[in-house]
Amino acid sequence: MVKIGLPVPPGFTITTQACRSFLSSGTIPAGLYDQVDASLAELEKITGKEFGNPKNPLLVSVRSGAKFSMPGMMETVLNVGITPAVAESLATLSGDPIFAWETYRRFIDMYGRTVSEVPPAEFRKIEQRVLASHGVETIQELDVDGLKVLSDAYIKENEALTGKPFPTDPREHRRKSIEAVFHSWNSERAQIYRRRERIPSDLGTAVNIQSMVFGNLSDDSGTGVAFTRNPATGEIGNYGDYLERAQGEDVVAGIRTPISLSAFGDKYPKVYGELDKTMSLLEGHYRDLCDIEFTVEKGKLWILQTRVGKRTAEAAFRIATQLIDEGKITIDEALARTSGDQLSQLMFPQFDLSLPTQEIARGIPASPGAAVGEVVFDSRRAFEMAKNGKKVILVRKETSPDDLVGMVAAEGILTSRGGKTSHAAVVARGMGKTAVCGTESISVDERALLFTAGGLTVYEGEIISIDGASGIVYLGAVPVIASAVTSYLEGRLSAESTSASALVKAVDRLLTHADSVRRLQVRANADTPEDAIRARILGAEGIGLCRTEHMFLGPRRAYVERLVLAENEKVQRGVIAEMEPLQRADFVGIMMAMSGHPVTVRLLDPALHEFLPPLAELTAKMARAEALGEEVSARDKSIFDAVNRMHESNPMLGLRGVRLGILIPELYKMQVRALVHADMDVDFPIGTMIETPRAAITADRLVSYADFFSFGTNDLTQLTWAFSRDDVESTFLPRYLDLELIPFNPFESLDQAGVGILLQTAVDHARRVKPDIKLGVCGEHGGDPLSIHYFNNLGLDYVSCSPYRVPVARLESGRAMVTQGAHNN
């Protein structure tokens, strides 16, 4: 921004390298503070002010600056360099003692929370006492004496909690603020955000030290956040908030409700005109939606920072296609700027408003979606309730970065304060969470665990519904219906129809382009004709995995149980004969649904513990009968003996897959007969699942017996990591993720450094022997965006996923081509 001539307060940057060194060693890199002093001396020359000099003071902000935008996740300290002596001088120089002491109060507040780690709630208690004693309701109403009293009370609380005197040297303030920003890279909220956004944990953050400009200096001063387009809907036009007589954190904190950017333009047309030109310049430079923080000091505009703006899924698709039409980006670039995760969000349901509803409040529609859940007022409690399977709506006066754990867990967020650019709004949009902010008609009492809306009181635990597109809050659970995007994807709404929205048209345009450029075929995992039909409607080009064991769950479970527990081969053959017509009918239904598209059928692969009665349950039943002297039937005794004989300590590694087929060969013969009779074609390819590490590393030997390989990455991941998904996801895996020992759940996204090497080995070995062999993936990773890019790069032929992930896989397969440079527009 400096290079293109924008009014940016001067400053300098400490690099991420310094942060990484500090976090790894625990000490500041040698010579860093000498460099900071030298850079500060240059800043003093530029500004004509001196850091720490009460007669001509230079104040600075100390901010984070990571490689990837993480809004609100790390720390900032404003007004560094102010002391009581500097505040007295500022009062004289500005002619406004309230401005000077409010600036001092704000520094003590931010330093205490950020550097000394004073719990914000403790400072808020102090504020309530001081405000009450001075007979006012807000800090903005305090006089100079009140601000001094409040600042002194902050300092006493700081000293009480740290056990140390509050430092008075501004150079120490600067050093400690830098270190606090470094430390904030590993704060809980930053780790949660990185894990959600899959940002590497070893990048570290830069520190930006920038001379202060003051939005709280006068009535014609203020601070704001502006977006060059609406980040919630994608609509064209400037969008944002402005707070008069405020500093930067006030807007995002949501403590006061700001005025809109259009109202700011009406009141300050000259400054708004400058801002409007700046916004156009920045969007033209970045060729994308820009998020801009600015301050007005006595009528002069200053641009503090800019970044490519976070946006909702709807905005992402609409803005991408708008920029194509404006000639700013190509359609390949537009496709790259959307994602499968965003498309998935657009498939979420919406409220059905054709039925009676009880509207209780209206706020600012901050992040679209339809969320229903129990009211919860505490972030930690929201997290615990969600972990126990409950759907919750987090209700707060305003959110802060410390609320992130609850925001991630909640279905939606409702606040009584804040605007479209408040912390709650920005973070919710980035996460695809429903949010309604600035709902001033409700009064939130977080201590009493209730909020009021008019004459209605809503207590914690009651159900509410919030609509992030309209800003409406409803009492009770409002039914939901399919979104317009889902209706389009399922063929119930044409993108060419007059009723199709701009969003549907944008999705259709980019998904059609993705289909035209992708190399990977997209198939579906489907075990029933109904699933197969749904998959075809959603664009699947075949079935990549038909799990025949799923056909014998539910009422048919008894067939597998009888087969495994059969006393002899004759009984087994009888059970198999009963299974064959059922199996043939299943195959006929699926083949008809797929209308000639390829169907990959996996022969029976039952984990026995899923089909047999639990041994512990049978043992207890037998013991109880013996203790009570009851007679045990011959059948129950036979079942107990068989289950006891076949019990496996680890069914994952037991009698399943081809092992069962070898022990009971008639079983697989029956399935092949059923398949041949259903398809009437005896010339179909025969392949193998690659689900064990040994299969992967001996692929060059297996390939001689197979026409294709299908990688079962779920089991391959379990066997490579040597743990069971069912066990670890509820025990130690969450702790591994909390400590960032692993960057993400390896069952959600492929472990490229481990499991990926096995896939690469198998692909290389197989194609060296048989270059034209078909290779595909049928685990859940087949629908994961990051994994799809890896599979595309690996040269696989297809991915297979659940039917509802098919559109996501189609989009990501296209994105994989354009982002890896494999397609030239």
Instruction: Give the active site residues.
Output: 423, 778
Q: Which residues contact 723 (CB under 8 A, 6 or more apart)?
A: none
3 state SS of 564: helix
Helix pair 755-769, 713-721: axis angle to 10 deg: 120
Mind spelling out the 3-state secondary structure of 387-440? HCCCCEEEEECCCCHHHHHHHHHCCEEEECCCCCCCHHHHHHHHHCCEEEECCC
Q: Are 116 and 160 in contact (CB under 8 A)?
A: no
| DSSP three-state, residue 811 | helix
Cβ count near 308 (within 10 Å): 15
**What is the three-class DSSP state of 716?**
helix
Q: Which residue, among 350, 335, 370, has the nearest Cα to 506 in the 3D structure?
A: 335
How does DSSP assign 599-663, residue by residue? EEEEPP---GGGTSPPHHHHHHHHHHHHHHTPPPPHHHHHHHHHHHHH--S-GGGSS-THHHHHH
* Strand segments (E) across 230-312: 236-244, 259-260, 290-297, 300-308
CA 246 vs. chain centroid, Å, equals 31
In which region does residue 460 sit, left (phi positive, over 0), alpha (psi from -120 to 50) or beta (all else)?
beta
- 568 CB-side CA count, 13 A: 1
Parallel, antiparallel, or unpaired: how do β-strands 708-711 and 688-690 relate?
Answer: parallel
Strand partners, 65: 206
Q: Environment class of residue 433 by beta-carbon count within 10 Å: exposed (0-12), middle (13-18) or buried (19+)? A: buried
Residue 192 falls in which region: left (phi positive, over 0), alpha (psi -120 to 50) or beta: alpha
**Token pair listed for 266:** 């009406």
CA distances to 313, 600, 603, 624 from 686, rounded to whole Å, are 41, 9, 11, 50
Token pair of 493 as six digits: 């709404």
Neighbours of 777 (CB within 10 A): 33
3: closest CA among 204, 328, 285?
285
Which three-class secondary structure string do you get for 676-707?
Answer: HHHHCCCCCCCCEEECCHHHHHCHHHHHHHCC
Contact 222, 295 (CB under 8 A): yes
Residue 680: C-alpha distances to residues 530, 547, 583, 591, 597 (Å):
22, 20, 15, 11, 15
198 Cβ contact list (under 8 Å, min separation 6) = 743, 744, 749, 786
Match 């800043």 to its residue by tokens: 43
Q: What share of the chain is helix, strand, coil (3-state, %, to 5)?
A: 50, 20, 35
Phi-psi region of 237 (alpha: psi -120 to 50; beta: other; left: phi over 0): left
**CB neighbour burial string for 685-713, b if at least 16 within 10 angstroms, e if fewer:** eebbbbbbbebbeebbebbeebebbbbbb
Q: How far apart are the first and last CA of the chain?
A: 30
381 vs 52, 192, 377, 450, 456, CA distance in Å? Answer: 44, 16, 8, 14, 24
* C-beta contacts of 28-33 below 8 A and 24+ residues apart: 28/175, 28/179, 33/175
Q: How many CB atoms lie within 10 A of CB 633?
A: 10
| Host H or E run for residue 524 | strand 521-525
